[in-house]
Amino acid sequence: MANVELKQVFKRYGDVEVVHGVDLEIMDSEFIVLVGPSGCGKSTVLRMVAGLEVISGGEIVIDGRVVNQVSPKDRNVAMVFQNYALYPHMSVRENMGFSLKMSKMSRDDIAAKVQEAAGILELEPYLDRKPSELSGGQRQRVAMGRAIVRKPDVFLFDEPLSNLDAQLRTQMRMELRKMHMRMNTTTIYVTHDQIEAMTLADRIVILKDGYIQQVGTPVEVYEKPANVFVARFIGNPPMNIFDGVVATVDGLRCVQLGETMFPLSEGKGDGLADGRPVIVGLRPDAIKMGDKLEKLPEKWHCTCEVVLSEILGGHSLLEVVVDGKHTMIAEVEGRILAHPGEIVPIGFEFDRMVLFDPETTNALL
Amino acid sequence: MREASRDRLKAFLTLLPSIILIGVFVYGFIGETIWTSLTDWGGSGALSLTPEKNFIGLANYVELFTGVLGGGFRQDLVNAVYYSVMLLVGAVGLGMFIAILLDQKPKGEDVLRTIFLYPMSLSFIVSGTIWRWLLAPQGGLNVLPKYAGMEPLDFQWLSSTAAILEFNWQNLFQILLYVAAFLLILTGLWLLKKDSGMAVKRWLVPGIAVGAGAWLFGDLLPEALFMEETHGFNLATMGIIMATVWQYSGYTMALYLAGFNGISQDLRDAAMLDGASEVGYYRHVAIPMLKPITISAVIILSHISLKMFDLIFAMTGPDNAETGHPALNMYLTTFRANNFAQGAAIAIVLFLVAAMFIVPYLVSQYRQRGRR
C-alpha cells in the first residue's frame, strides 16, 4: 500500500506533447479513476506510473520514492490490461505465479499464494487450464489474480472491462469494488466508460487532450462539473446545455433563454451583472414530471411538448421541447407514457442548475 | 443422397490424375527403390537392357552397416548426424540470437534484416564456392588474424584429417543404448517440474536402467562389426557446417522475428511488470510462445541437412572421404559404380532418416487437429 504523487508530469513523443503537466495526489488505498475520451492521455499517464513509458518531464512518486528512473519491475505495481495479456502458453496457475517465480520465491510459497488468490477469485477449478480454454470473464479473473498474488503497492487497471459483455461488465465491476474494499490497495483505474468511473471511484480524474479537467468525488463531478466538457462527458444522458443571459425580471434574478426564464436559486449568480451571457447546464434528472412535480415549488413548473419517450423499465427518458425552442432530455422516475406531440406539465430543480462562462467554458462560482 | 454421391464422384475424378501421378512417380518409385535395394542389381552387367536382378533380402543393408566395404558409408552416416545436429543447433541458435537483437528495434533494422536473410537466396553451389575460397588454406578466414597483427591460422578447414569424439563402430549397440538412456533421462528431467511422479516412473527410471544396463552388460551385446573401426566428428566438416549455418540462420532469424513481432506489446509489458528481465522475457515468455515456430524450423532445417549434396559437392568435391554425406555416397555408388542395388539401399536409409524427422511432426499436427 502506498500513496502515489504525480508532479508536473509531461509526456512528449518527439515534438508532440500528449500529457501537459499533470499534477495529481493519490492517497493510500484510494480508488482513483482516470476517465476521458480516446486520446486524452489517460492510458499514457497510467503507463508512466507503471514505468512502461518514459516520463518526459516532472516526477512520479510512489510511496515517497521518486520512481522516474526505476524500472517497472522494481516499482511494485501490478497492471491489468484491456486484452488481459495472459501468457498463452502457460496454465492459469503458471500465469498467476509467474511474477512470484520471477522474484525467486520458493515453489511451495508460490503454490500457496496462487491457491489463495484463486480462492478469492473462484478460479480453483480452472487452475490447470490454458487461457485459450477460458471464457472472457474467466480470463479477466486470471488477469486480476495475476495482479493480486503479488500484493503490490499499487494496482493499475487499463480499461479492464471493455472486452466483456454488458452483463458481465456490471458483475465484474461490483467484484472489483468488493476486491478493493477487501484488499485496500491503492488503485488507478483507466476507463472511457463514465458509469464505471462513477460507480468505482473514490475520486474521478477527468482528462481531455492531456490536461486534467477536474478531480473530484463522483457526486462532485456530477453535480458541480468544472467546465462544459465535464458536464457533457459525465452523466448519461449528458447534461442539457443552453446559451442564456443573466437578467433581473420583476425583481427576480434569472437566466433568460429567449422568452424562457430559468430562475436562479438564492445566492446563485449574485456576482454576475445583468446582460452577462452564460451557458446553462441542467442534468436530465433535474427535470421532473408526473407525481414528482409536487415536490417542486410552483414557480419552477411549466409545460413542454413531448418529442419522443423511451421507457427503460424503472425510469423513462423523454425528449421534450420547452417554449417551442429549447430541446432537452429528461430522465424521470417511473413510467411516463406520453405520446409525441402531447403537451405535459414539467418542473425543474433549478437549484441544481450550473452556470458556465461562454468564453472559457469554466463553471462560474 | 444422390446429389451427395455425385459430388463425391466429381471430387474423386478431379483428384484422380494427381493421385495417379503421385502414386506412380512418388510412391511407386519409392516402392521400386525398396525392391531394388533388396536385389543384387549391379556390377558388370548392370547397364544391359535386361539386367540380372536377384532377390537377396537385406544383404545390401547388412553390408552397409557391418560389411568391410561399408566403412565409407558409415562415416558418411556419422557425418550426416553431425551435419544435422550442428546445422539445427547453429542455425536455430544463431537465428534466434539475431532475431532477439533485431527485436530490440535497432536503427536500420530493415536493412539488417535483409542482409541477414540474403544468404538464403543463394544456391548451395554458389555459397559453397564462396566458402571454399574463404576457407582455402592460405586465404580468407586463415589470413584474417594478420590484419589484427597476429599470426595467420594454418588450419586446413576442408582437408583436415583430424577427428574428435571418436568411437568404435563395433560398440554401436551399446552407444545407441547410451543415446536412448540419455534421451530418456533428458525428457524425464524436462518433465520433472510438470509432473514429477510420471517423469520419474516413465522416463527417469527406465533411462537410468537402460544406461546402467548398457554400461554393465555392454560387453554381452553383439558387436556390429568383426573388426575395430573408428568414426568420429571430422574437423574437415566444420567448414561445411559453418557455410550452412551462415546460409540458414538468416532464415530462422526471419521466422523468429516474425514471431516476436506477432507477440503483443501488452504481453511484453505484462512480463516486465511481473518482474521479468529482458532475458527472462525471452526465456519464459517469448521463446516458449514460439514453440510452433521452433518446431517448424527444426523440421525444415533437418530435411535441408539431409539434402546438403550440392554444398558438399561444391566445397570439397564428391570424393573427399572426410566430409562425405550419404546422399553423395548414394550418387557415387549408383551412377559412378553402377551398383544400383546398394545405391538404392542407401537411398532408403536416407528416406527412413527423413521419415524419423517428418513423421513425429505429422503425428503431432494430426493430434492438434483432432483436439480442435
Compute the nearest-CA separation of B278 from chain A (Å): 11
Residue with cell 468525488: A217
Tens-digit pLDDT profile for residues B283-332: 999 999 998 899 888 888 888 888 888 899 999 888 888 888 999 999 99
Q: Where are the alpha helices (DSSP H) in A247-308?
A: none
Region for A237 from its dihedrals, namely left if φ exceeds 0, alpha if ψ lies in -120 to 50, beta otherwise:
beta
Is B275 in Cβ contact with A52 (below 8 Å)?
Answer: no
Compute the nearest-CA separation of B276 from chain A (Å): 6
Domain residue limits, chain A: 29-55+65-233, 240-356
CA angle A22, A23, A24 (to 5 degrees): 115
Distance CA A60, CA A51 (A): 10
- Burial (CB < 10 A; 0-12, 13-18, 19+), residue B169, is buried
Distance CA A200, CA A202 (A): 7
pLDDT of B1 higher than 70: no
What the block records as the C-alpha cell of A12 is 512528449
Is residue A73 within 8 angstroms of chain B, CB to CB? yes
Is A79 in Cβ contact with B289 (below 8 Å)?
Answer: no
Contact residues, B window 260-279, toward A, CB-based 8 Å cutoff: 264, 266-267, 269-277
Is A71 in Cβ contact with B273 (below 8 Å)?
Answer: no
Position B370 scores a pLDDT of: 66
Q: How far from the centroid of its chain's Cα atoms is residue B10's Cα?
A: 41
Distance CA A213, CA A34 (A): 11
Is A81 in Cβ contact with B266 (below 8 Å)?
Answer: yes
Residue among A71, A77, A85 minimizing CB distance to B266:
A85
Phi then psi dihedrals of residue B276, to 5 deg: -80, 135
Residue among A82, A89, A99 minimizing CB distance to B274:
A99
Is A50 in Cβ contact with B273 (below 8 Å)?
Answer: yes
DSSP A362: B
Residue of A nearest to B283 (CA): A102
Tens-digit pLDDT profile for residues B229-285: 888 888 888 989 999 999 999 999 999 999 999 999 999 999 999 988 889 999 999
Residue of A nearest to B372 (CA): A133
DSSP B355: H
Is residue A132 within 8 angstroms of chain B, CB to CB? no
CATH 1.10.3720.10 fits B75-162+235-371, yes or no: yes
Per-position b or e across A288-306, b if 16+ CB within 10 A of its CB:
bbbeebeebeeebeeebbb
Beta-ladder partners of A57: A10
Q: Chain B residues with CB inside 8 Å of A153's CB?
A: none
Q: Which of A73, A150, A155, A188 to mutate to test the interface with B (most CBs of B within 10 A)?
A: A73
Compute the nearest-CA separation of B264 from chain A (Å): 8
Compute the nearest-CA separation of A130 from chain B (Å): 12
Q: Which of B193, B196, B263, B273 to mutate to test the interface with A (most CBs of A within 10 A)?
A: B273
Q: Chain B residues with CB inside 8 Å of A103's CB?
A: 275
What the block records as the C-alpha cell of A71 is 524500472
Is B267 in Cβ contact with A73 (below 8 Å)?
Answer: no
Compute the nearest-CA separation of A42 from chain B (Å): 16
Q: Which residues, other chains included, contact B355 with Cβ-Cβ below 8 Å and sequence gap of 6+? A: none
Instruction: List average pLDDT for each run of 10 residues in chain A, which is 365 residues long.
Output: 89 91 93 92 92 92 92 90 91 93 91 91 91 90 90 92 87 89 92 90 94 94 93 90 89 84 80 88 89 80 87 88 87 83 88 91 84
- Calculate the dihedral angle through the C-alpha atoms of B222, B228, B229, B232, rounding to the nearest 10 degrees: 80
Residue of A nearest to B273 (CA): A73
Question: Strands of A315-322's sheet, edge to edge?
Answer: A287-288, A343-348, A301-312, A315-322, A326-333
Q: Using an 8 Å Cβ cutoff, are A355 and A365 in contact? A: yes
- Burial (CB < 10 A; 0-12, 13-18, 19+), residue A129, is middle
DSSP B152-172: PP---TTT---EEEEEEGGGH
Is A71 in Cβ contact with B276 (below 8 Å)?
Answer: no
What the block records as the C-alpha cell of A162 is 471493455
CATH classification number, A29-55+65-233, choose in 3.90.1170.50, 3.40.50.300, 1.20.200.10, 1.10.287.70:
3.40.50.300
Q: Which of A93, A102, A106, A155 to mutate to test the interface with B (most CBs of B within 10 A)?
A: A102
Instruction: Kindly provide the residue ranges of all beta strands, DSSP E only, lying in chain A, ordered along the sequence.
Output: 4-13, 16-26, 31-35, 57-62, 65-66, 77-80, 154-158, 186-191, 203-208, 211-216, 240-249, 252-257, 260-263, 277-282, 287-288, 301-312, 315-322, 326-333, 343-348, 354-356
Position B28 scores a pLDDT of: 95
Number of other residues whose CB lies within 10 A of the CB of residue A321: 13
Residue of B nearest to A149 (CA): B274
Q: Chain A residues with CB inside 8 Å of B270's CB?
A: 79, 81, 85, 87, 146
Fold of domain A240-356: OB fold (Dihydrolipoamide Acetyltransferase, E2P) (2.40.50)
Position A300 scores a pLDDT of: 81
For chain B, what is the mean pLDDT? Answer: 87
Beta-ladder partners of A244: A278
Distance CA B230, CA A60 (A): 69
Phi then psi dihedrals of residue B129, to 5 deg: -65, -45
Is B288 in Cβ contact with A85 (below 8 Å)?
Answer: no
The answer to whether ipTM exceeds 0.90 is no
What the block records as the C-alpha cell of B89 is 543447433
Q: Using an 8 Å Cβ cutoff, are B323 and B315 in contact? A: yes
Position A190 scores a pLDDT of: 95
Domain residue limits, chain B: 75-162+235-371
Distance CA A105, CA B245 (A): 39
Residue of A nearest to B290 (CA): A89
What the block records as the C-alpha cell of A102 is 520471477
- Calculate the dihedral angle through the C-alpha atoms of B122, B126, B129, B131, rounding to the nearest 10 degrees: 0
Contact residues, A window 142-161, toward B, CB-based 8 Å cutoff: 146
Distance CA A359, CA A363 (A): 11
- Burial (CB < 10 A; 0-12, 13-18, 19+), residue A365, is exposed
Is residue A50 within 8 angstroms of chain B, CB to CB? yes
Compute the nearest-CA separation of A183 from chain B (Å): 19
Q: How many CA atoms lie within 13 A of B113 on its CB side?
A: 17
Per-position b or e across B136-151, b if 16+ CB within 10 A of its CB:
beeeebbeeeeeeeee
Distance CA A335, CA A292 (A): 12
Query: Which helix (H) or strand (E) element contains residue B72?
Result: helix B71-103
Q: Residue B13's pLDDT band (boundaries 50, 70, 90)?
A: very high
**Rounded alpha-carbon distances, angstroms, from residue A268 to A124, A253, A258:** 57, 9, 20
Distance CA A243, CA A253 (A): 16
Q: Chain B residues with CB inside 8 Å of A160's CB?
A: none
Q: Chain B residues with CB inside 8 Å of A47's CB?
A: 269
Q: Which of B193, B265, B274 to mutate to test the interface with A (most CBs of A within 10 A)?
A: B274
Distance CA B177, CA B115 (A): 44
Position A280 scores a pLDDT of: 92
Is B271 in Cβ contact with A87 (below 8 Å)?
Answer: yes
DSSP B225-268: SSS--EEEEETTHHHHHHHHHHHHHHHHHHHHHHHHHHS-HHHH
pLDDT of B372 higher than 60: no
Q: Where are the alpha helices (DSSP H) in chain A?
A: 42-50, 92-102, 107-120, 136-148, 166-183, 194-200, 218-223, 228-233
Is residue B52 within 8 angstroms of chain A, CB to CB? no
Is residue A200 within 8 angstroms of chain B, CB to CB? no
Number of other residues whose CB lies within 10 A of the CB of residue A103: 12
Is A78 in Cβ contact with B264 (below 8 Å)?
Answer: no
Residue among B273, B276, B284 minimizing CB distance to A78:
B273
Q: Chain B residues with CB inside 8 Å of A76's CB?
A: none
Is residue B196 within 8 angstroms of chain A, CB to CB? no
Position B174 scores a pLDDT of: 85
Distance CA A150, CA B61 (A): 62
